[in-house]
Amino acid sequence: MRLDQFLKVSRLVKQRSMAKRVCDAGLVSVLGRNARAGMEVRVGDELTLNMRDRFLRVVICAIPTGNVRKEQAPTLYEIVEERNVSAY
């Protein structure tokens, strides 16, 4: 599954177009490397999102097929580290 699609389906990012912009801006990395939106992700990959006010590191637990219900989205990943980043 494409990275931007996974970010949207897992609800880590609200819209796929936003997920693409975040990837293009270099704010997402997979296994420690900057990732492009079209990169294929697999179970076990570690994603790092360094958003404006939030730092999040997750490990992919499942790759969905088809639509995912809102309640099922958090089961697709496991949070390793999460921090709120204060803007000064």
Check which CATH number belongs to the domain holding 40 and give it. Answer: 3.10.290.10
Task: State how far the Cα of 49 lies from the Cα of 13, in Å rounded to an integer.
Answer: 10
Q: Is the pTM of this model over 0.85?
A: yes
Note the pLDDT of residue 71.
92
Task: State how far the Cα of 14 lies from the Cα of 46, in Å rounded to an integer.
Answer: 20
- Rounded average pLDDT over 1-9: 93
Domain encompassing residue 47: 3-84
Residue of 1, 33, 39, 47 whose CA lies nearest to 20? 39
Q: How many domains does the chain have?
A: 1
DSSP state of 26: T
Burial of residue 86, with CB atoms counted within 10 A of its CB: 0-12 exposed, 13-18 middle, 19 or more buried:
exposed
